[in-house]
Amino acid sequence: MTRVSLQQLFSGFIAAFCLALSCKGAPDFEKEVAPILEAKCLSCHNEHDAKGDFVLANRGQALGFENGIVPGNSEASLLIKMVSGDEPEMPKKSDPLSPSEIETLRAWIAKGAVWPKDRILADNPKRDLDWWSLRPIQQGAFDERTLLDRKISPVDFFISKKLAENKLTPVSRAPAEVLIRRVTYDLTGLPPTPEEIDAFLKTPDWDSLVDRLLASSAFGEKFAQHWLDIGRYAETHGYDKDKPRNNAWPYRDYVIRSFNSDKPYSKFVQEQVAGDVLFPGEPDGVVALGFLAAGPWDFIGHQEVGEGKLDGRIAKHLDRDEIVSAVFNVFQSATVQCAQCHHHKFDPIRMEDYYRLHAVFSAVDRADRVYTGLPPDQEKLKLTLQKQIGELQAERRKIDTDAKRVVAAKTSGLDRRIAELKEKYGSGLKPQYGYHSTITSRQDDEKWVQLDLGKSRGATEIRMIPAFDNYGGIGAGFGFPMRFRVEVANDAAFKNGIRILLDATGVDFQNPKTTTIKVEGDESRFRFLRITATKLRERKNDYIFALGEVEVLNEGGAENFALGATVSAKDSIEAAPRWGRANLVDEIFYRELSNDAALGELRDLQEKRDAIEQKVRPADTDSRLAAIDANLKPLNEKFKKIPSGEMVYAATAHFTSAGNFRSTNGKPRVIRLLHRGDMTTPGDVMAPGVPALWKGATDLFFEGSDWNEGDAREKLASYLTQHDNPLVWRSIANRIWGWTFGKALVETQNDFGRGGMQPTHPELLDFLAAKLRDDPGQSMKSVVRLLVMSEVYRRASGHDEKNAEIDAGNAFFWRANRRRLTAEEFRDSVLVVSGKLDRTMGGPSFSDFIIEKPQHSPHYEYHLHDPNDPKSHRRSVYRFVVRSQPNPMLTTLDCADPSMSVPARDESTTALQALTTWNHRFVEAMSGHFANRLRKAELETSEAKVNWAFRLATGQSPTDTEKQVLIELLDEYGEESFSRVILNLNSFVYVD
C-alpha cells in the first residue's frame, strides 16, 4: 500500500519536474550534469577502472557504448535504467541518486546529451566529513563533578550506561591476588614478586599499587613495546640482504624515556615528525625521527640501483609510501595509502592529498644522522661539506657515465671478446694478493720492502708484478709506486755495498697495470733485494705501497730464488689471506691471461678499443674529471677531520652517500601525482599538504613552489596536533584503552574511516580524547591511571552464561578479558622466574642469534645462540629485532611483524606453540636455572617447594589437586623436569 502510493507520488513529482524543465531548456552540462556524473559514476566508470567497459570520462567513450546514452531518448539509455527504479542497480558504492539528479540526467539526454568535445570528467567525490571520527569531539555528556562527588569513575559511568542498555549485569570484582597480577602485567609486562603480592594482600591499597607501577621504569618498557609494534620498529632493513641497523636503538630508548617521563602527547607526536625543526638543540628532537625511519628499507633498490633508474625510483616511491602510511595510520588512524591509485573509496581522501604527503617527505631518506656529541658549528660545517661533496660527486659521476656510455655503444662487440678471453685464459684473482704497506696521508712517505734470499745469489732478472685489488674500483696496478728504486746488497741493513739496479725516482712512473716490470741483474751476486717507494700511489684519498709478487730469476729463468724468501718491510698490513709480506714471494699473483696467443689477441683488441675510445670519448672528459677531483680533495680532507658524534638511524635530508644512495641535502625531490599509482604515468607536480579531514583543516601548506622541507614537516606536525583535529586524540585515547584492557573501543585501531569499525562506546572515547587533549600536561599516564582505577578494569574474568548469550565477545566489558602473555612477556617472565632477568635499561640491543656470513647477506642463526649467555638475559624490548628472519620462538608466540604496523597482537593457539614452549632451548636452559633457584631456597618439604615455585610463576597458590600432581612430579623426576612443567602451565601463560 505504502509502496504504491509512494510510486504514484514519485511519478507525479517527476511529471511536474519534467514540465518545469522543458520550460527551462536542457540542463547545463558543466553546471548540472558533470557534477552528478563525477560524484556518482566516475569512481568506477573512469578510464582506468572502466567497470563494465562503460567509461564516462569523455564524450567519445560515453556515447560510444552501445545504448549507454542514447541522445534524445532517455528511456532507451542504460544510464537512466541503471540509476532509477525502486532498487537502482547503480551506483554500487554510494547512495542512490536523488529524484532530481535522475531527472536532470533524463532531461539532459532527452535534449540531445550535449557534451562539450574537450570536457573530460574525472572521479571527483565531494569531501564527505559526515562520519563519526571526523566530527568534532563531543563533550559534556555528563556532569563530571557530580560523578566525582559520588565517587563514580566517569569510565564506569559510560560503561555501566551501555551495560544497562544491553541488559547486561557486570560480574563482581576479581580477587586481590588476581588484580595485582593483572595490573602488574598490564602496566609493566612483568609478574609481581611474591613479596609484592603479600604486601598487597595485607594492605589492598589499589591507589598506591597503581601509582607505584606507573612510576616504575618497567612501565615505559612495557608501553614502549606497544608503540614499537605500531611503529614497525626493527633493527635490520628487511628485503634483500637484510643488513643490520646498528644505530636504530636510540629511538627505542627515546620511546621508553618518553613514556616514563610522561611526555605531553602533542610533543611526542611533533618530535616524531619534525623534532629537528621544532626543537633544535634537543637531542630527542632528532632521535624521535627514528619513527619515520623505523620501517623496512630496500637496500638494493636504493643503494645498488638508485634513482637514476626506474626501478630505483619505484623503490623510493614505495619507501615514501611506507613513511606516509605510517604517519597517518599511527597518529590519525586514517588510511591515506588507499588513495595511491585512485581517490579513497570510502573516506574523504583524494589522490592529491596522498601525493601532497609524498611532497612533505620528498627530501628525507632513512639513514644514520648525528643527534648529539657534535658542536653546532661543526655540524653546520659538516652539512655544508656534505652538500658540496655530494654535488661534485654527482657531477663527476655524470661526466664519467656519459663518457662510458658513448664508448660502450661502439665497443660492445670488442668488449665481449675481451671478456671472453679473460674468462677463458685469465687465472683470475686468487685471494693471496701480495704485500701492502700501512696507509698514510702523505704521498712522499717513503716505504720499502726487502727480500732475504738466504744466501748470495747471482740473478739475471728481477721481476716486479703489480698487485690487483678492486678496492675503490682500482684493480690492476693497485698501490704500484709512482717513483721507486730497486737496490741489492749483501748487507741486510743496506748500509754498505749498495748497488742500484733501477732508479725510477726522477719522474712519475705510469701505472703499469698488469704489465710485469723487469729489471736486469748486474752480474754480481747479492743476498738482499730492497724496493723503495719514494712517491706513493693514491688509493682513495690516501696513499699506499703494494706489490703483487717479486721474482728473482737465474740465467734462463729456470729458478726463482725469491720463492719463499724472508720478506721484511718498513711497515706492512698483515691481513690474511689477501695481504701479507709472505704473499710477495708465493708465486701467486694476478695474471691477466695464461696463454700467449690469447694475450696477443687481447692486446690487439685493447689497442683497437683504446683507439675507438680515444675517438669517441669526449675530449675534455679527463680534464674535467681531474678538475673535479682537485676540488674534491680538500673538501674530503676537511670532512674527515669532523668528529662523528652519536648517531641514530632516522629520517634525514643530510647523510653520507653510499653507492647510488645519495642525500638530497634538503632539496625536495619533484613529486608528481601518479595516475593509477604508476611511475610511468606521472601527472601534475604536487606541493606539500594534507587531506582536510575535518571542518576548517587546511590542505595545502604553502602558496607557490618555494618551500623548505623542514617547514613542510613542521606544518604536518602542527596539523597533526591541532586542537580541533578530531582523529589524533581519538586515535591515542582508543589505543590507550586497548593497551590497558586488551581490546580497543574501536577494534580497527589504524582505521577510523568508513572501512573500519565503529566505537562500541563513542561517548566514552570522546571523553577520554578530550581529557587527554585538554590536560595541560597531556599526560598519557593519567589516562592509564583513570582506566585502571575504574571498577570495570577490576572485574573478574569469569564466565557468565546469561551475559554471554547477549554479548559473547564481551564488547561491552561486563567482565575482564583473560589474556595470554605476549611473546615478550612470556620470555621476560621465564627469565624472572628463573632468577636470570637482567634489568639493565637502554643502550645497544642484545642479540639472541649468531650472525654468519655478515659480508653479504647476514644469516641470523638463532639456533647457534647460547641461551645461557647472560648478555641475552635482558628484557625482550632490548632485543635486536631482525626483519627477514625474526626470532622463531617469539614469532610462533604471535610476536608483531615489524614489516607492518601492528595495533594489537594476535592470540593464536597452535601445536607449534606447544612444541616451542615445551622444547625450546631457552625454556630448557631456564628450567635448569629455575631448578637451581628452587634448590637454593632451602625449603624443607616437597610441598613447600611446590607452593613456592607455583606462587612465583603464577601469583597464586596451588589447589590441593594441583599440589598433589606437582609433588609427585617433583619427587619422582627432580627440580628440572618440574620447572619445565611450571613454565608450560596455563596458569603461568594466562592472566585472569
Partner 1 sequence: MSIERRHFLGSLGGGFSSLALGDLLARDGVLSGTLHRPPKAKRVVQLFMAGAASHVDTFDYKPLLKKKDGEPWDPGEKVELFQSTPGACFGSPWDFKPYGESGKMMSDIVAPLGEVADDMAFVHNVVGKTGVHSQGTLLQTTGFNFPGFPSAGSWVSYALGSENENLPSFVVLPDHRGLASNGAKNWANAFLPAQYQGTVIRPGNEIPIADLFAPESKFITDRNDRAGLDALSKLNGLHAAARPGDDRLTARVRSYELAAAMQLSATDALEVKGEPQYIQDMYGLAPEGQGVDDSGTINEKAETEFFGRKCLVARRLLERGVRFVQVWSGNDNGFPRRNWDSHGDVKRDHAPLALGMARGASALIKDLKQRGMLEDTIILWTTEFGRMPCSQGSKGRDHNPFVFTNWLCGGGIKGGTYGESDEWGFRPQDRGSETSVYDINATIMHQLGIDHERLTVRNNGIDRRLTDVHGHVLTDMVA
Residues 421-480 interacting with partner 1 (rule: CB under 8 A):
422-423
CB 669 within 8 A of CB 656: no
Q: Taking CB under 8 A as the rule, does residue 924 contact partner 1?
A: yes
Q: Taking CB under 8 A as the rule, does residue 981 contact partner 1?
A: yes
CB 926 within 8 A of CB 983: yes
User: Judged by CB, which is closer to partner 1: 301, or 521?
Assistant: 301
Minimum distance, C-beta of residue 894 to partner 1, in the bound complex (Å): 5
Minimum distance, C-beta of residue 725 to partner 1, in the bound complex (Å): 18
Q: Where are the alpha helices (DSSP H) in 368-479?
A: 376-425
Phi and psi torsions of 815, nearest 5°: -140, 175
The C-alpha atoms of residue 831 and residue 840 are separated, in whole angstroms, by 13
User: Judged by CB, which is closer to partner 1: 277, or 338?
Assistant: 338
Find the binder of partner 1 among 124, 490, 660, 817 (CB under 8 A). Answer: 817
Beta-carbon-side half-sphere exposure of residue 937 (alpha carbons within 13 Å): 21
User: Judged by CB, which is closer to partner 1: 416, or 640?
Assistant: 416
Find the binder of partner 1 among 809, 843, 869, 971 (CB under 8 A). Answer: 809
The C-alpha atoms of residue 690 and residue 85 are separated, in whole angstroms, by 39
Q: Choose the stretch contacting partner 1; rule: CB under 8 A; options: 90-98, 280-288, 368-376, 636-644.
A: 90-98
Q: Taking CB under 8 A as the rule, does residue 165 contact partner 1?
A: no
Q: Taking CB under 8 A as the rule, does residue 309 contact partner 1?
A: yes
- The DSSP element (H or E) to which 544 belongs, if any, is strand 543-544
Site mask for partner 1 (CB under 8 A), range 781-800, x = bound: ----------------xxxx
Q: Choose the stretch contacting partner 1; rule: CB under 8 A; options: 174-182, 522-530, 564-572, 807-815.
A: 807-815
CB 324 within 8 A of CB 354: yes
Q: Taking CB under 8 A as the rule, does residue 968 contact partner 1?
A: yes
The C-alpha atoms of residue 31 and residue 20 are separated, in whole angstroms, by 18
The C-alpha atoms of residue 547 and residue 532 are separated, in whole angstroms, by 11
Q: Taking CB under 8 A as the rule, does residue 87 contact partner 1?
A: no
User: Judged by CB, which is closer to partner 1: 8, or 919?
Assistant: 919
Q: Choose the stretch contacting partner 1; rule: CB under 8 A; options: 27-35, 189-197, 405-413, 554-562.
A: 405-413
- Grid coordinates representing 197 are 603480592
Q: Taking CB under 8 A as the rule, does residue 92 contact partner 1?
A: no
Q: Taking CB under 8 A as the rule, does residue 613 contact partner 1?
A: no
Q: What type of residue is 665?
A: N
**Prior bond of 175 cis (ω within 30°):** no
Minimum distance, C-beta of residue 493 to partner 1, in the bound complex (Å): 44
Residues 543-572 touching partner 1, rule: CB under 8 A, are none
CB 579 within 8 A of CB 489: no
* Cα–Cα distance list, 791 to 115, 154, 175, 589, 992 (Å): 65, 10, 13, 80, 15
Q: Taking CB under 8 A as the rule, does residue 598 contact partner 1?
A: no
Q: Taking CB under 8 A as the rule, does residue 659 contact partner 1?
A: no
Phi and psi torsions of 196, nearest 5°: -65, -40
User: Judged by CB, which is closer to partner 1: 322, or 368?
Assistant: 322
Q: Taking CB under 8 A as the rule, does residue 595 contact partner 1?
A: no
Minimum distance, C-beta of residue 835 to partner 1, in the bound complex (Å): 17
User: Judged by CB, which is closer to partner 1: 33, or 338?
Assistant: 338
Pairing between strand 526-535 and 537-538?
Answer: unpaired
The C-alpha atoms of residue 610 and residue 604 are separated, in whole angstroms, by 10
Q: Taking CB under 8 A as the rule, does residue 63 contact partner 1?
A: no
Q: Choose the stretch contacting partner 1; rule: CB under 8 A; options: 33-41, 383-391, 486-494, 920-928.
A: 920-928
User: Judged by CB, which is closer to partner 1: 521, or 677?
Assistant: 677
Nearest 10 degrees: CA dihedral of 810, 812, 813, 815?
-50
Q: Where are the alpha helices (DSSP H) in 51-151?
A: 59-64, 78-83, 99-110, 144-149
Q: Taking CB under 8 A as the rule, does residue 419 contact partner 1?
A: yes
Minimum distance, C-beta of residue 790 to partner 1, in the bound complex (Å): 17
Minimum distance, C-beta of residue 464 to partner 1, in the bound complex (Å): 29
Find the binder of partner 1 among 643, 755, 777, 843 (CB under 8 A). Answer: 755
Minimum distance, C-beta of residue 142 to partner 1, in the bound complex (Å): 25
Residues 340-379 touching partner 1, rule: CB under 8 A, are 341, 346-347
Q: Taking CB under 8 A as the rule, does residue 160 contact partner 1?
A: no
Q: Taking CB under 8 A as the rule, does residue 693 contact partner 1?
A: no
Minimum distance, C-beta of residue 845 to partner 1, in the bound complex (Å): 19
Find the binder of partner 1 among 750, 829, 847, 876 (CB under 8 A). Answer: 750
Find the binder of partner 1 among 23, 597, 619, 808 (CB under 8 A). Answer: 808
Taking the alpha carbons at both ends of the chain, their separation in whole angstroms is: 57
Strand partners, 532: 448, 485
- Grid coordinates representing 595 are 696463454
Find the binder of partner 1 among 751, 824, 825, 828 (CB under 8 A). Answer: 751
Find the binder of partner 1 among 78, 314, 599, 612 (CB under 8 A). Answer: 314
CB 449 within 8 A of CB 567: yes
Minimum distance, C-beta of residue 314 to partner 1, in the bound complex (Å): 5
The C-alpha atoms of residue 811 and residue 813 are separated, in whole angstroms, by 6
CB 489 within 8 A of CB 605: no
Nearest 10 degrees: CA dihedral of 891, 895, 901, 906?
110
Q: Taking CB under 8 A as the rule, does residue 710 contact partner 1?
A: no
Residues 184-203 touching partner 1, rule: CB under 8 A, are none
Residues in the chain: 992
Residues 880-919 touching partner 1, rule: CB under 8 A, are 883-886, 888-889, 891-892, 894, 897, 899-901, 903-916, 918-919
Residues 106-135 touching partner 1, rule: CB under 8 A, are none
User: Judged by CB, which is closer to partner 1: 158, or 545?
Assistant: 158
Give the distance from CA 419 to its chain's centroid: 40
Nearest 10 degrees: CA dihedral of 21, 27, 31, 35?
100
Q: Taking CB under 8 A as the rule, does residue 238 contact partner 1?
A: yes
Residue 618's CB: how many other CB atoms inside 10 A?
12
CB 660 within 8 A of CB 312: yes
The C-alpha atoms of residue 636 and residue 991 are separated, in whole angstroms, by 59
Q: Taking CB under 8 A as the rule, does residue 412 contact partner 1?
A: yes
Q: Which residue has the cell 617521563?
A: 261
CB 727 within 8 A of CB 327: no
Residues contacting partner 1: total by CB under 8 A:
130
Residues 713-742 touching partner 1, rule: CB under 8 A, are 738, 742
CB 450 within 8 A of CB 619: no
Residue whose C-alpha is closest to residue 496's, from 470, 536, 527, 520: 527
Name the burial class of residue 765, with classes exposed (0-12), middle (13-18) and buried (19+) by CB atoms within 10 angstroms of its CB.
Answer: buried
Residues 838-877 touching partner 1, rule: CB under 8 A, are 853, 855-857, 859, 863
Find the binder of partner 1 among 125, 250, 296, 479 (CB under 8 A). Answer: 296
Q: Taking CB under 8 A as the rule, does residue 318 contact partner 1?
A: yes
Q: Taking CB under 8 A as the rule, does residue 400 contact partner 1?
A: no
The C-alpha atoms of residue 205 and residue 213 are separated, in whole angstroms, by 13
User: Judged by CB, which is closer to partner 1: 387, or 422?
Assistant: 422
Minimum distance, C-beta of residue 889 to partner 1, in the bound complex (Å): 8
Find the binder of partner 1 among 406, 582, 642, 985 (CB under 8 A). Answer: 985
Q: Choose the stretch contacting partner 1; rule: CB under 8 A; options: 331-339, 364-372, 429-437, 643-651.
A: 331-339
Q: At what angle do helices 709-720 and 351-360 cross, to 10 degrees?
A: 120
Strand partners, 502: 486
Q: Taking CB under 8 A as the rule, does residue 820 contact partner 1?
A: yes
